[in-house]
Amino acid sequence: MTLYSRITGTGSYLPPRRLSNADLVAQLAAQGVESSDDWIVERTGIRARHFAADGVFSSDLALHACRHALEAAGVAASEIDLIIVATSTPDMVFPSTACILQHKLGAAGGAAFDVQAVCSGFVYALTVADAMIRTGAAHKALVVGAEIFSRILDFKDRTTCVLFGDGAGAVVLEASDTPGLLASDLHADGRHVGILCVPGHVAGGQVLGDPLLKMDGQAVFKLAVGLLESAAHSVLIKAGRTEADIDWLVPHQANIRIIQSTARKLKLSMDKVIVTVDQHGNTSAASIPLALDVAVRSGRIRPGDTLMLEGVGGGFTWGAVLLDL
């Protein structure tokens, strides 16, 4: 029998602390940094984001999202034999956030590891989990995106600190005899490391370099739109589908302008695009599964729909997945 993988449950979690643009602008003003709600909305489409409390880690956000996904799938944590966490903000240097999450879930025994592809991380992780299920190496997987970007932001740089938020999203991916994930397309180009990075590391008990996020927004925008279009078309060709077959585009929630440009290139109405960037900000690897869960639970995305998931992030990394839910 040919094995495939299908998403059987989705879940997400946002930390309770919500900061509207007005809240963040007031916080920045106290530090002598000028911004405004109009400025943020016009350039990004973002109106609010969530920040995790002190003492809360990416694995904690992931735990809530996974429990929701497991409940939706009707799967017990003990049945999970693979956990992949996409994150750029792990709990610690090692072990992986996936191992810490596995312990918190009480799901010991299966493989558990992290994937680091920044905002493309969930697409990368989903592709890896699909491959492992297809080969029989796993049968029931949790694929998670979890981030606490608020701790690596420079709040003196208004061009970046207004963009990001914290959160987690997860899916249960199970072996099936009918196709779910139809095709994927992953890429990276390390020549562009410098346009989006956190250029710091730990050595001798100290942080060396700069541990705060740096981004060349214009360079990222120019690359992102073209790369997302090429990945989307590549996935459609691999799957033998066309743009007309896409019921929903679930993009990485980086910036409303990038999302709108991508939709235009795919000849999709914005009515077919899931947008959560206005309320979540950019939650990096968590943004796609967060948006997916919001759309599923609101009843917009339904079983049988064909979805295009795509993301682009530091590395420079990018990729897309086409799937039937």
Tens of each residue's pLDDT in the chain, 325 residues? 799 999 999 999 999 999 999 999 999 999 899 999 999 999 999 999 999 999 999 999 999 999 999 999 999 999 999 999 999 999 999 999 999 999 999 999 999 999 999 999 999 999 999 999 999 999 999 999 999 999 999 999 999 999 999 999 999 999 999 999 999 999 999 999 999 999 999 999 999 999 999 999 999 999 999 999 999 999 999 999 999 999 999 999 999 999 999 999 999 999 999 999 999 999 999 999 999 999 999 999 999 999 999 999 999 999 999 999 9
Query: Is residue 316 reached through a cis peptide bond, with omega within 30 degrees of 0 on the bond before it?
Result: yes
- Spatial neighbors of 223 by CB under 8 A, at least 6 apart, are 192, 195, 312, 316
119 a catalytic residue: yes
- What is the reported pLDDT for 199? 97
CA distance linking residue 271 with residue 300, whole number of Å: 10
- Residues 21, 197, 280, 282: which is the catalytic one? 282
Q: Exposed/middle/buried for 211, CB within 10 Å: 0-12, 13-18, 19+?
A: middle
CATH 3.40.47.10 domain position(s) in the chain: 4-178, 182-324
Single out the residue of 144, 9, 176 nearest to residue 76, CA to CA.
9
Side chain identity, residue 84: I
Q: Catalytic: 21? A: no
> What digits encode the pLDDT tens for the residues 274-293?
999 999 999 999 999 999 99
E strand intervals along the chain: 4-13, 18-20, 48-50, 82-86, 111-115, 140-148, 166-176, 181-188, 196-197, 200-203, 206-209, 214-215, 248-251, 306-313, 317-324
Place of tokens 């899916």: 171
Q: Which of 311, 289, 308, 306 is nearest to 84 (CA)?
A: 289
pLDDT digits (tens, 9 = 90+) for 117-168: 999 999 999 999 999 999 999 999 999 999 999 999 999 999 999 999 999 9
CA–CA distance, 308 with 296 (Å, rounded to integer): 14
For domain 182-324, give the CATH number: 3.40.47.10
CA 45, distance to chain mean position in Å, is: 18
- Quick check: 281 and 89 in contact, CB under 8 A? no
Q: Which CATH number fits domain 4-178: 3.40.50.1820, 3.40.47.10, 1.10.3720.10, 3.30.470.20?
A: 3.40.47.10
Among 21, 252, 255, 280, the active-site one is: 252
| Cis omega (within 30 of 0) for bond into 95 | yes
Active-site residue among 66, 99, 119, 161?
Answer: 119
**Which pLDDT belongs to residue 1?**
77
Cα–Cα distance, 251 to 290 (Å, whole number): 11
Q: How far is CA 228 from CA 238, 298, 321, in A?
A: 15, 26, 11
